[in-house]
Structure 1
Amino acid sequence: MITFILRRLATGVAMLVTISITAFVLLNLGATDTARRLVGQTASAEIVARKAAELGLDRPLGERFFEWITAALTGDLGRSWQSGQSVVDAIATRLPVTLSLTIGAVIVSAALAIALGALAAGRRGWTDRVVQVLSVIGGAIPGFLIALILVLVFAISLRWFPATGYVRPEDSLGGWLATIALPVIALSIGAIGSVAQQVRGSMIDALRHDYVRTLRARGLPHHRVVYRHVLRNAAGPALSTLGLQFIVMFGGAVIVEQVFSLPGIGQSAVAATVVGDVPFVMGIVIVTAILVVIVNLAVDLLQGWLNPKVRLS
């Protein structure tokens, strides 16, 4: 198991280095344009050049990258060119909002997808067809459109939830749940269909195995065979799909946060990208890449626990 984990960590580190180099090069291609956006389009060439020199944009790209990555390895991601705030502090205040949405959506998606997928696999017929149709419809509707519909119906018309705003959990747990309920639903609907289809397909294949017939011949109830034995053996592909959906939902949270006016990293990322705030955007890229590595490692460990063959491979 230790070798298994070390291999995954080495792959994650290599991915982080590749993403860092690629993102830094791409973000620094328009150094002059970045300086002009920061000082204003009407600024003179002298002011633009002075700003570029202040930010170090006149130095060689390799030198700037070495300086950035050396500081990043110590936990210093620099300061935002736009606000002057520490990038670490800025992300630390906004990331919990985005993570709460994404983790909540993953939990909701996993619970409903497993239930629907197991139901469709165990009860073939009209139930299976209804689940498949709902999965396709849920996956076809864009997340931002679902968010707008939820706002119109449950926030504006029924007034069950607030349309915008965010309450921190330490201030009011009930208020926090109310402010993230609709965004979590908007993020999770698309993922439920994909994971449910994967659970359904894996369970249908597992139900054809000889050990299932043996368990049934021993008189075990249908629900025990399905949920205790078949579901565990079919969980591997569903976990992989759920891990991918976490990454998709984390990216989708950028748009959902705009709809519900939530103070996550989405709004800040969009604003920083528009003005070319390289340190802040690089900070978001690195944090996102680290989250991807952690999620993939967690999925691999769960799959290795569920199926020892994964560790051997």
Structure 2
Amino acid sequence: MAIMILRRLAAGVVLLFVVATVVFLAMQLVPGDPARLILTGTGATPTEDAVQQLREELGLNLPLWQQYLHFLGDIVGGTLGTSVQDSQPVITHIAQRLPRTLQLVLTATAVSVICGVAVGALAARRGGFIDRATLVLTSFAVAVPSYVAAVVLVYLVGVQLKWLPSGGYTAPDRDFGEFMQSLTLPVVALSIGFTGIVARMTRSSVLAVSNQEWVRTGRSVGNREGTVFRKHVLRNSLSPVLSVTALQLGGLLGGTVIIERVFSWPGLSGLLIEGVTSRDYPMVQGIVLVIAGIFILINIAVDIAYGFLDPRGRTQ
């Protein structure tokens, strides 16, 4: 098990290095002079001396290989570069915004997995009308985009019924009750489609495992149905659910841009938009790297979880 974890971590480091290289080269392919674009964005016509001075401050006058080494040095040093907007380390801005995005994403993931596994397992066990109703509802949930659900929730729950705030953010250490109220609608908007996917995957996996010979053997030796389901069926049905959860969680990290804008949630997506509009390339690079790093860690965690659910995966 330890060897498998070390292999996954080493592969994650290599993959993160590849992502960093691709991000750096992608920024180099952006048309136009970054220094000139940054100064032009202030509304004034920059002089050549001002452009040259900013290029020197940003290190854009250096050869490409030196810029790349400085970029890697900023990553290893933990600063992820310096923001063009206020000359502060990029990691400082990300550290302020990332927890707010994780509050949304992790809560939505927990809600989706718990509800999806429960609904999918119930549909597979009961069958009949419950199973058909579950298929219809989950198909509808998967088909509804999160941004459409967000707009509908804001209008119905926030504006018309006034049950919950339609936007804004309150820190949990300031007022936990208001924080939960402001968290509810964006989490619901993110969870609808996610829950439908998890429920359908759980249902299919439970039905497939239930027909295995070792499950029928467990029933034939006198074990109660509930015991067989918990110890043999459900546990062995969770591996595909973990895969779907990892993919969806990575998608949520990169797909909260619209949700955060709709609900005025000051998370990482808003910071990314600010970096793009202000031509703050170090900020954009840092945010992309952090999201990629989190996604890599999620996949490593899923691989480790596979090892606990299925002992055969520990030696792979």
Please report the TM-score for the alignment, with normalisation by the length of structure 1: 0.95
Question: Which amino acid in structure 2 is aligned with residue 136 of structure 1?
Answer: S
8 Å Cα contact 1:202/1:234 also seen in 2: yes
SS of the residue aligned with 2:183? helix
User: How far off is 1:193 after superposition?
Assistant: 1.4
Matches within 5 A, 1:245-260: 245-260=248-263
Matches within 5 A, 1:189-200: 189-200=192-203
Q: Which residue of 2 aligns with 1:180?
A: 183
- Tell me which of 284, 305, 309 is aligned to 2:308: 305
8 Å Cα contact 2:39/2:46 also seen in 1: no
Q: Which residue of 2 aligns with 1:281?
A: 284
1:52 pairs with 2:55? yes
1:18 pairs with 2:18? yes
Matches within 5 A, 1:72-221: 72-221=75-224
- Partners of 1:119 and 1:37 lie apart in 2 by 57
**Structure 1 unaligned regions, length at least 5:** none
User: How far off is 1:311 after superposition?
Assistant: 1.5
- Tell me which of 239, 244, 250 is aligned to 1:241: 244
Q: Which moved more, 1:30-39 or 1:237-246?
A: 30-39
User: How far off is 1:226 after superposition?
Assistant: 2.2
8 Å Cα contact 1:121/1:200 also seen in 2: yes
- Partners of 2:30 and 2:297 lie apart in 1 by 32
8 Å Cα contact 2:210/2:233 also seen in 1: yes
User: How far off is 1:148 after superposition?
Assistant: 0.8
- Tell me which of 23, 42, 45 is aligned to 1:43: 45
Q: Which residue of 1 aligns with 2:8?
A: 8
- Partners of 2:216 and 2:272 lie apart in 1 by 53
The C-alpha deviation readout for 1:164-212, integer Å capped at 9, x for no partner, is 1111111111111111111111111111111111111111110001222
SS of the residue aligned with 2:122? helix
Question: Which amino acid in structure 2 is aligned with residue 212 of structure 1?
Answer: V
- Partners of 2:197 and 2:155 lie apart in 1 by 26
User: How far off is 1:277 after superposition?
Assistant: 1.2
CA RMSD of aligned residues (A): 1.6
- Partners of 1:67 and 1:50 lie apart in 2 by 18
- Partners of 2:4 and 2:284 lie apart in 1 by 32
8 Å Cα contact 1:143/1:252 also seen in 2: no
- Partners of 2:192 and 2:60 lie apart in 1 by 44
- Partners of 1:98 and 1:72 lie apart in 2 by 22
The C-alpha deviation readout for 1:101-131, integer Å capped at 9, x for no partner, is 0000110000011011101211222222221
8 Å Cα contact 1:164/1:260 also seen in 2: yes
SS of the residue aligned with 1:73? helix
Q: Which moved more, 1:106-115 or 1:81-90?
A: 81-90
Question: Which amino acid in structure 2 is aligned with residue 170 of structure 1?
Answer: D
- Partners of 1:85 and 1:155 lie apart in 2 by 37
User: How far off is 1:45 after superposition?
Assistant: 5.5
- Partners of 2:315 and 2:200 lie apart in 1 by 27
**Structure 2 unaligned regions, length at least 5:** none
Question: Which amino acid in structure 1 is aligned with residue 45 of structure 2?
Answer: A
- Tell me which of 61, 66, 69 is aligned to 1:66: 69
SS of the residue aligned with 1:205? helix
Please report the TM-score for the alignment, with normalisation by the length of structure 2: 0.94
Q: Which moved more, 1:284-293 or 1:52-61?
A: 52-61
Give aligned-pair identity as a percent.
38
- Partners of 1:194 and 1:162 lie apart in 2 by 28
- Partners of 1:262 and 1:34 lie apart in 2 by 29
